């Protein structure tokens, strides 16, 4: 599965480690919330780069205080119908100020890219290489935002009343 960062195929140097698996030496690792909690002290000592993988039901608040330790947060979507990760992502970015890589993993189809993008995800485990182009095309396919979210788009409630917008009409 190719990794996309900002719509481009990227090298994935991270190693996702299962809860019972041995930790690799000298590589950036991704661990579960459970493993992070259990082994946090030794992980921080041993590894320069740590990523955490949250399940749909893990809330942003649970890792809010630990965010300085993470260079990557992966949020799992167990199915397309599980939308909890969108709230988690927005809270991490907007409330807790997380600025590292935010990666969507699990059941990801290209048609949800625009939602992911607006909620602050910058990376995604995609299905195939064609998805890179799909990301670049689809995140802008609808370029009007009715509501503020976690991307940089100005919502129409503001945009409509900028002096510029009035001039453009």
Partner 1 sequence: MYQYDTYDKTLVDQRARQYRDQAERRVEGDLTEDEFRPLRLMNGLYQELHSYMMRINIPYGTLSSAQLRKLAHVARTYDRGYGHFTTRQNIQFNWVTLEQSPDILAELAGVEMHAIQSSGNCIRNVTADAFAGAAADEIEDSRIWAEIIRQWSTLHPEFAFLPRKFKIAVTGSPNDRAAIRVHDIGVALHLNAEGETGFEVVVGGGQGRTPMIAKTIREFLPARHLLSYLEAILRVYNQFGRRDNKYKARIKILVHEIGAQPFAEAVEKEWEQIKDSALLLPEDEVARITSFFAPPQLEKLGPTAPAFDAKRLTDRAFAAWAKANVVAHKAPGYGIVTISLKAPERAPGDATHTQMDAIADLADHFSQGEIRVTHEQNLVLPHVKLTHLFGLWQALAHHELATANAGLATDIVSCPGLDFCSLASARSIPVAQRIGRQLSDIERLHDIGELRIKISGCVNACGHHHVGHIGILGVEKKGEEFYQITLGGDPGTDAAIGNIIGPAFAGDRVAGAVENLIDTYLAQRSTNAERFIDTYRRIGAQPFKENLYATA
Query: What residues make contact with partner 1 under the rule CB under 8 A?
Result: 56, 59, 80-84, 86-88, 90, 95, 109, 111-112, 114-119, 138, 141-149, 155-161, 168-169
| Closer CB to partner 1, 40 or 90, in the complex | 90
| Closer CB to partner 1, 28 or 114, in the complex | 114
Find the shortest distance in angstroms from Cβ 71 to partner 1: 24
DSSP bridge pairs for 3: 10, 125
**How far is residue 123 from each of residues 10, 63, 115, 126, measured CA to CA in Å?**
9, 19, 13, 9
Find the shortest distance in angstroms from Cβ 119 to partner 1: 5
Helices of type H across the chain: 33-46, 84-90, 113-118, 130-138, 156-159, 163-168
Find the shortest distance in angstroms from Cβ 168 to partner 1: 8
Find the shortest distance in angstroms from Cβ 51 to partner 1: 22
d(CA 163, CA 78): 44
């Amino acid at each position: 599965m190719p990794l996309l960062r900002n719509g481009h195929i990227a090298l994935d140097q991270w190693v996702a480690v299962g809860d019972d698996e041995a930790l690799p030496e000298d590589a950036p690792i991704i661990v579960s919330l459970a493993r992070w909690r259990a082994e946090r002290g030794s992980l921080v000592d041993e590894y320069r780069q740590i990523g955490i993988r949250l399940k749909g039901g893990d809330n942003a608040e649970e890792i809010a205080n630990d965010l300085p330790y993470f260079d990557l947060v992966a949020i799992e979507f167990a199915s397309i119908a599980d939308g909890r990760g969108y709230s988690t992502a927005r809270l991490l970015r907007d409330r807790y100020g997380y600025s590292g890589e935010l990666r969507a993993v699990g059941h990801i189809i290209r048609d949800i890219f625009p939602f992911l993008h607006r909620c602050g995800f910058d990376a995604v485990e995609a299905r195939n290489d064609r998805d890179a182009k799909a990301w670049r095309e689809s995140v802008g396919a609808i370029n009007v935002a009715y509501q503020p979210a976690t991307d940089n788009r100005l919502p129409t409630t503001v945009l409509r009343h900028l002096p510029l917008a009035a001039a453009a009409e």
